[in-house]
Structure 1
Amino acid sequence: MKIKVGFGFDVHQLKDNHPFVIGGVNLEHHKGAFGHSDADVLLHAICDALLGAANLRDIGFHFKNTDPQWKGISSVILLKESVKLLSEKGWEIGNIDAMLCLEAPKINPHIPEMQKNIAEAIDISIDDISIKATTNEQMGFIGREEGVVAYAVCLIQKG
């Protein structure tokens, strides 16, 4: 059996009175992530981890932020498309471990729904999806609520 590990990172600006989608969940907050798609920082980091592990480049290569096809699209669709690319190469997902870094809102109450959304999108067990969150202790652009960051690692396998 062959296994590979991937790492993903994503960051998005936060803007007042903008939708805030993380892990396919719409969060109530006075600010939201801004980007070409729905700016779901968590799913973007997971896509990059998966694509990188399979040596399939990154999310920007496959879903360009200049392509109107992807404008405002749900990142759940981008995740499904990324998994399809892996499947075409014979890869299966073992697990995902992700970390969000933002000051607010609190993420912990939303983690089960995020895990459910991801598990359904990529057809793996919720038990194979770990999501954690931390603040930046009010330091830097994250601490000033100017941006949100996500990191993800994954294990993929074949044969």
Structure 2
Amino acid sequence: MIYKVSEVVKELGVSRQTVYKKLRREAYKPYIVEVDGVTGVTEEGLLMLKGIKDIDSDVVNEKEMGNNTEVTGVTDSVSKLQEQLIDSLHKQLEVKDKQLQEKDAQINSLLKITENGQVLQKMILNNTEIKLLAYREELEERRKEHQKKEEKGLLNKIKNYFNK
């Protein structure tokens, strides 16, 4: 659809002069159409102008300022938006970097805890093995003592039997 400049003026709420200034820029040339000697704007051009009106603070409404002026160029506002976006992205990256550092610290802490746990398990196992060996030796000594007592007792019984 093609929009006459007068329609664009009403749609954007700016002066005719502001619309023509915008349309003289190279970026808008592909969207300008002449029909029966009347200048018009394609739907894409209108959308582009609306986008600039919405995000571009440089177009000042003539009612607010009392005249038809542009505070700054479209490129200035786009540059400002780009800088703001870049700053925002840098801040997000800084936050993510801090989060990753915290995660790395947590992982390292968990690794140390796991290693310590494994060392403790080995120590406990070794300690248990040592205790088991000591207990086996003690049992063996008791068995030998008991065996000697039984042998002495049996020998005494045999001696006593023969002595009678």
When Rg is computed on C-alpha atoms for both structures, the one with the higher figure is: 2
Structure with bigger RCO (C-alpha 8 Å, 6+ apart): 1
Q: TM-score surpassing 0.5?
A: no
More helix by share: 2
**TM superposition score normalised by structure 2:** 0.24
